[in-house]
Each structure stands twice: as C-alpha cells, then as structure tokens.
Amino acid sequence: MMKNKLTISWILLLITTFGFAQKPKDLKENSAQTEKKVFTYTNPITRDINISMRDHFIIKVENKWYCIGTSNPVWTGPNPGVRMLVSDDMINWKQHSFIIDASKLPADCPYNGRFWAPEIHFIQNKYYLTVNSGKVTAEDPKGMSTHSVWLFSSDKVTGPYKLINGPLTPQYNNDTTLFEDEDGQTYLYCSGNGLFQAKIDLKSGKLITPIEKFLDKKQPGYPEWMVGGIEGPFVIKREGTYFMFFSSWTRGYEVGLLKSKSPLGSWELASPEPIFGTRKKHYRPELAKEGGYDNLKFQDTDDPYQETGHNALFIGPDGQLWNSCHYFMDEKRPYPYSQTLEEWEKGPQMGIEPVHYKDGMFYINKATWTKQTIEY
C-alpha cells in the first residue's frame, strides 16, 4: 500500500513539474502567434524637394521598396532622367540612382526628353521598364512631337536597363503600364487624349495587335467628371474580373475604376463616381475654361491637396495592396492649414493609402494628411 502511494505521489510530482515547466513556453508561443504588428505613417510620405516627383510607382523586391516617377522639371523642358528611390520601411526614402541618366545619353538619342511616368514590372523573371519620352530639339524643347513609349529590361530592379524597342506606338502616347495575364500573355495600356490598349511581346518589344483607343474623355454615356482628360491606367485581375484604375484632372485629380471580363474589354465603369482623389474648384482654371467645363458643379474635398492622382498598386508592409500616387499641396488650402508653403510643399511628394477589396469591388478611403496606424 505504501509502495502504491509513493508511486502515485511520484506521478503527480512529475505531471505537476513538467506541466508548469511547459506552460510559460506555450504562452510565449501563443503570444508570438497572436502578436500584431503596427505600421504608422503620415502623408505626404516624402518631404524633400530634392526628391520631389510626380506619378510615383512603387515595387517591392525582397525586403525593400523601390520607387520611380516623373522628375522635375515637369512642364518646362527636359528632366534629368528616371530617378529611383529606395526604402527599407516605406517611410524613410533616399535616392538610389538614376536608372536612366539623361546627362549620359548620346546627343542623337531619340528619347532624351521628358521621362514621363515610368513603371517597372516583374514579368517572366525579368524587370521591364516602360518610359514615355521623345527627342528634345530647339524646335521642340519638350520632345512632344516624338513623345511615345520605350521598353527596357534588366535582370535586377536597380538595372542596368537595356533598350528592347521603341517607339512602340506611331503617335503620341504616355503613362504606359503592363499587365501579365494568367496564361502568360502580356498587355500594354497607355494614355494620350484617351486610353489605349494592345497585346505585346516583351522579348521583342513589339505590339502583337495594333494599338487601339478604347475610351475617350468625352465618351457618350460617360460622366462629366471625365471630360477634362483621362490618363494613367493600371490593371489588376481579381476573381476573374479585370480592373483598370485611371486618373482624371477634370475637377482636381481623381481616380476612376473600370472593369471588364476580358483584358481587352469591353470596359465599363465599376463605379459611377471616382473611388479616390481630391476636388478643388480653383484647380487649373485655364484648362477648365479652354475645355469648356468650367461650369461644372461639385463640392470641394476637405483635404489640403490640389492633386492626389496617377495611382498604381503595390504590396505594402502588411502584405496587402496599397495605392501610391503623388500628393501635391494646395496653395489655396483653407484654414487651419498655413497659407505659406514650406519649400518641400512646393513640389509633388509621395502619398500612400491602403486598398480594400470587398464584394467584387476595390475601394480606397479618402486621402489622409494626419497620422495613420495600420495593425496586421
């Protein structure tokens, strides 16, 4: 009897000892599994006039984010090339390099002008760079008469990039983007007084189908917020539907959304109103008057920006889709914002916002300018 009691006592002691010995470890593992990460940001993300750009396009490669865009000067002639920024945390950005340096191009280079809205897409184990540019001459100081699409490739996101082909289209085109479908076919979309599309063979850089204009800014049956101009397409596929983000500068700078069951359309509006952007009645009044749409009635947004547009999507720190575009401060922003712009506020800066998808539709909340926190 005594022997049985001792045996039972030893068993209870062992269970108790090992039970408590394992408990802290189990709690630690469970805590690690449920521990949430936090990403905090305040727009505009960049606040440095020296790296001011428009049309920010961000791509994540391993644990870094890279950004390219349209460098200054934007409207007054040639710019210095395709600037690349890099960040380890999506908050602190620094200049990495010029992946196309205009100062190093030969005098007879046919794309030495404004390097507009470049993008980098990783397709079939290569990085493809699209650049929209033309030849700057004394007679054409902006290179507009030869402005078209040029395609480059590289084995690394940072280059060096080698020209594959260009110009890809026979007329003025801009804001080029690429989209690879599930069957391996790649499509090219761009703007130029409307939106255009074609199939492309990336290896040769040649269009497989003729470039086709499929949507005009004054398309019959489409809303008035598009009549000023549409540009900046970006395509993504979700649950069998193709979605095309695009921008309009009619009432400010807003982002619209098209959808289709085919990568070449037909396209229709996924939302009757823009899904993102800023509206200001005093935005570029000369264009509104010239275009005959200066009588449009609408309500200004309550943000301090004059532009939040030309968007693209990228993978953010939480592994989800985020929106990038340039945020340009409004010099007529209302109280309580200061009417005196700081130096960095005089040029477009990077803006980011999370993208949401629900019930077959993409959503982007209002442009922000205060501290934001994302838990994941």
Tell me, yes or no, whether 268 lies in a domain: yes
Residue 10 inside a domain? The answer is no
Q: In what order do the strands lie in the sheet with 349-358?
A: 305-315, 321-329, 349-358, 361-364
Residue 138 is predicted with a pLDDT of: 86
* pLDDT reported for residue 143: 86
Q: Report whether 209 contacts 198 (CB < 8 A).
A: yes
Q: Domain for residue 129, yes or no?
A: yes
Which amino acid appears at position 179 of this protein? F
Q: How many domains does the chain have?
A: 1
Please give the pLDDT value at position 332: 87
Cβ(117)–Cβ(174) under 8 Å? yes
Higher-pLDDT residue of 22 and 58 is 58
For the ranges 16-20, 131-135, 207-211, 367-371, which has the lowest average pLDDT? Answer: 16-20
Note the pLDDT of residue 34. 67
The CA distance from 147 to 324, in Å, is: 25
DSSP 149-175: EEEEEESSTT---EEEE---SSS--EE
pLDDT at 23: 37
Q: Is residue 197 assigned to a domain?
A: yes
Return the CATH number at 155: 2.115.10.20
Q: How high is the pLDDT of residue 79? A: 86
Question: What is the model's pLDDT at position 337?
Answer: 81
pLDDT at 6: 42
Domain span holding position 240:
38-375
Q: Identify the pLDDT of residue 269.
A: 98
Q: For residue 162, is pLDDT > 60?
A: yes
pLDDT of residue 33: 58
**Does residue 141 form part of some domain?**
yes
Average pLDDT over residues 34-54: 95
